[in-house]
A and B are shown apart, each in its own frame.
Chain A
Amino acid sequence: MQISSEIKNIRIASAEVIDYIKKAKANISKNILFDIKLCVEEAIRNAILHGSKSNAKLPVEISYVIEMDRIKITIRDKGNGFNVSDLPDPTNMKNLYKESGRGVYIMRRLMDSVNYNEKGNCVTMEKKLEG
């Protein structure tokens, strides 16, 4: 799936991923769907705001597949990327009152794995769909 870098497309894209999972796994728990929806939306939000810098002409690509009871989701933007290791810990007391910087942290806490490519413009997340 490819979307233009507009905020309104975040929900549309996450709904498509969630529908795909529900069709493949009818008994999937609401808690797992909550986590996946949140992490997909955080990753697309970052791609639009930081990767595309809200330039609606730039596309964001989202691919997803279920393999061996795990959902694998990849989100790629056309931006210059970033160094994920530069991100401050948002749970550090000195950062708690900051209004930004929680998206990647939330993704890492809720998904089983979150990996960025070297450039930092493509993230792949995986989560087991049972248990």
Chain B
Amino acid sequence: MNIKIDQKNNVWVCRMNGEIDINTAPQIKKVFDKMLSEKREKILINFEEVSYVDSSGLATLVEMLKNIRSYGGKLKLSSLSSKIRSLFEITKLEKLFDISNDEEEALRSFA
């Protein structure tokens, strides 16, 4: 899994590719733990190139959301495939996460 992080309009945009699962979750957690320790306030995860998420991946995202909210930061998600979005719907995690259709929409919503 590759994780690329760029800054756009004061938002840290993270792009990952492949699968967010029990194998890759520790790598993702390590990257995000660093960003959260630096108290970065606006983080967007672009799921455009993410093909799969399992319950370990969901758990990692929930942990990140709790951490970033603990210091008043915001975490948003964008560009989920229909299958991954349906996973957020059936687990009701769509209630916790701010999910946008695409990156531009998400960036506008941070403003």
Q: Does A42 contact B (CB under 8 A)?
A: yes
Secondary structure of the A contact surface, majority rule: helix
Does the CB pair A91–B92 fall under 8 Å?
yes
Binds A, one of B9-17, B32-40, B55-63, B98-106: B55-63
A30-72 CB mask vs B (1 if < 8 Å, else 0) is: 0100100110011001000000000000000000000000000
The interface size of chain A toward B, counting residues with CB under 8 Å, comes to: 25
> A7-B22, A7-B23, A11-B23 are contacts. A102–B83 as well, Cβ < 8 Å?
no
Chain B count of residues within 8 A CB distance of the other chain: 21
- Whether A96 touches B93, Cβ cut-off 8 Å, given contacts A10-B23, A31-B83, A45-B22, is yes
Which residues of A approach B to under 8 Å, CB–CB? 7-8, 10-11, 31, 34, 37-38, 41-42, 45, 90-91, 93, 96-100, 102-103, 105-106, 109-110
Asked whether, in the complex, the Cβ of A106 is within 8 Å of the Cβ of B56, the reply is no
- Is the CB–CB distance between B90 and A42 below 8 Å? no
Are B55 and A103 closer than 8 Å at their CB atoms?
yes
Given A8-B23, A11-B23, A99-B63, residue A105 in contact with residue B91 (CB < 8 A): yes
In order of increasing CB-CB distance, the 10 nearest A-B pairs are A99-B59, A91-B92, A102-B55, A103-B55, A109-B90, A34-B83, A99-B63, A99-B62, A102-B91, A41-B54
- Provide 6 A-B residue pairs closer than 8 Å at the C-beta atoms, listed in order of the A residue: A41-B54, A42-B55, A45-B22, A90-B92, A96-B93, A106-B87
